Every structure is written in structure tokens, then in C-alpha cells.
Amino acid sequence: MVNINKISKIGLGTGTLASLGVSISQAECNHLIKTGFEHGVTVLDTADTYGSGDAELMIGKAIKGNRDNLFLITKAGFPYISLPHWASPINQIGKKVLQKSGASKNFSKSYLINALQKSLKRLGVEAVDAFVLHEPVYSEINDECWEALELIRTQGMAIATGVSTFDYKVIAEGIEHKQIQIVETPVGLLQTSDRAIATICKKNQIPIIANQILFNYNKIGADKSIELDVLLAKYNFKKNDLIKVFIKYPVSSDGVECTLIGTKKIDHLIENSKIIADSDKLNYLYEDIKKLML
């Protein structure tokens, strides 16, 4: 089962940690994770496809000696190429070609188990705290994926299993098969699809890790900007504070234990951890913004 006490309110998303052309060095990664931990960030979220495995390699080196204090999540299902580390550029270019060509995700039992075994090796750990299916939709799953999750737990490769998805039906079926102990899902101020997911997770006491928290933030048009500025001022916020309101929102949502912040910058991580840790309740502001925008 999930150890809630190990889950921090803010988690580090590592999707761009080792991306081709914009990756950071191992020393920078070490410093980012160490500084995050010093500011209470214990959740590290990664996936085999991030940097075609390079993100996991970097994390593995960065967490040596501190593994027990962290809540480590990895995911699998997306197609990617995994040649030896020295071929990293080929891996990442190949991954982009695969995904743009419409290569299918794979949630078969053999694939998932093999993928996690490789992830554990890259991370340098015997088990992760949570292993989740990477963004499946209902048409992509079958009994094999649930059998894989059960086997992964019984073999001690992961303490908990779950899904990272916006698809309610995937979560409902996983719960029915008793293979979901944790859910990653988009939780955004201007999003409505997360409500049914929050309800079923709360009913089954399943913690939610919020991702894609800035959903629709960039779609706010100029036609609403003046009204939003007035609304923010009513609650003593400045115009540029809207992004802070979006970042704080998931914490107030039912069942959300952690908000993932994807960043490679230490200052960004620290700033957002302070925003999320701030105990101010903004429920009235959230409701007013929803009435204005939705």
C-alpha cells in the first residue's frame, strides 16, 4: 500500500530533465534533487521514456544514499528506443520518430514487466514506491495490464501500482481489478473532467498525484483579462499572480496528496514549493474564476 507519510505536497516532474538539446548536467541534477529534498520535496516522478531512459539514469545517480527518504514513481507504456547510454541522441531522435509515426503504446504483461526491470536497473533500486501505466485510454487496456501490476507488486518490484491517465473508465476498471493504489491525473482550475475521478478515488481511499496543473492556463483570452484582473484585485492578488492561483488550486481538491511541478530550475522548484505550502484558502476565488471562465 501507499505510504502517505512519504508523499510531499509538491513533487518534482522530470519529463524534461534529460531531453535532447535542453538537458541539464548530472551535477545540476544532483543539486536540484538535493535542494528540493531540503525544501520538503520527497516525490520524484519519472518514466522510462523520459530522455529515453536518461532521466532515470540521472535520478539513480542523484538519489544514492537517500533512497529511503524519497517517494519514487516511474511509468511505462509509451514506445521508445533504448540503445546503450552512449547512443542517447539516437534513442531520443528514434523515440520522437516512433511517437510521431503513431506507434502504439504497449500495456502487455511481458512488456510492462520488462520495462520496469530496465527502469529499476537505471534507477539503481530494487523497487519503486509506485509503478503506473503511462497515460492509457480505455481502448488500450485489457486484463493483461492488471495481471502485470499484480505480479509487479507480488514480486516486490513496486510497493504500489496505479495509472497516470485522464480517462475515468481506465481508473474505474483498475479499481474493480484491485490493482490501483495511486492515481496520477490532470487537476486544473479550468478543467472539469477531474471531478468524477476525484470522487471515485476518494470513495476508494486512493491518493491522487496532480499533474498538468496549468491546463488551459495559456488559453485564457484577452477578452477575459480585464475581468480577471478585477477579480484578482478583489482578493488582493496582482495581475501576474494568476499563475500562482493555478499552482495552488490542486491542493484544495479532494484527494490530492501531491502536485507535480515539472522543472529543471532550482529557483522555480523552491518558489512553487512555497506557493503550495502556503496555507491560505482560496476556494471563493477559485469559484469566482470558474464562473467567469467556464
pLDDT tens column, 97-154: 666 666 689 999 999 999 999 999 999 999 999 999 999 999 999 999 999 999 999 9
Alpha-carbon distances of 53 from 50, 59, 111, 292, rounded to whole Å: 6, 10, 15, 42
| Consecutive H or E run containing 43 | strand 43-45
Residues 6+ apart with CB under 8 A from 119: 48, 53, 56, 74, 76, 128
In this prediction, residue 223 carries a pLDDT of 80
165 φ/ψ angles, rounded to the nearest 5 degrees: -160, 160
Q: Mean of the pLDDT values across residues 39-64? A: 95
The answer to whether residues 48 and 92 touch, using CB atoms and an 8 Å cutoff, is no
Q: What is the number of domains present in the chain?
A: 1
pLDDT tens column, 66-75: 999 999 999 9
Is 237 a member of any domain?
A: no
* Rg, C-alpha atoms of the chain: 19
Alpha-carbon distances of 276 from 37, 80, 238, 280, rounded to whole Å: 15, 33, 18, 9
pLDDT tens column, 203-243: 999 999 999 999 888 878 778 888 899 999 999 998 889 99
CA distance 290 to 294: 5
Is 264 a member of any domain?
A: yes
State yes or no: pLDDT of 79 exceeds 70: yes
Residues 6+ apart with CB under 8 A from 111: 76
More confident residue, 55 or 89: 55
State yes or no: pLDDT of 35 exceeds 60: yes
pTM of structure: 0.91
Residues β-bridged to residue 261: 12
Is 227 a member of any domain?
A: no
Is 225 a member of any domain?
A: no
Is 229 a member of any domain?
A: no
Q: Which range is least confidently modeled, 44-48, 80-84, 142-146, 235-239?
A: 80-84
Is 232 a member of any domain?
A: no
Is 13 a member of any domain?
A: yes
Sign of CA dihedral 75, 77, 60, 248: negative
More confident residue, 25 or 81: 25
* DSSP code, position 258: E
CA distance 98 to 79: 7
Alpha-carbon distances of 110 from 103, 120, 153, rounded to whole Å: 18, 16, 15
Q: Which domain holds residue 157?
A: 4-219+249-278
Mean pLDDT of the chain: 90
More confident residue, 94 or 251: 251
CATH of the domain at 49: 3.20.20.100
State yes or no: pLDDT of 90 exceeds 60: no
Is 169 a member of any domain?
A: yes
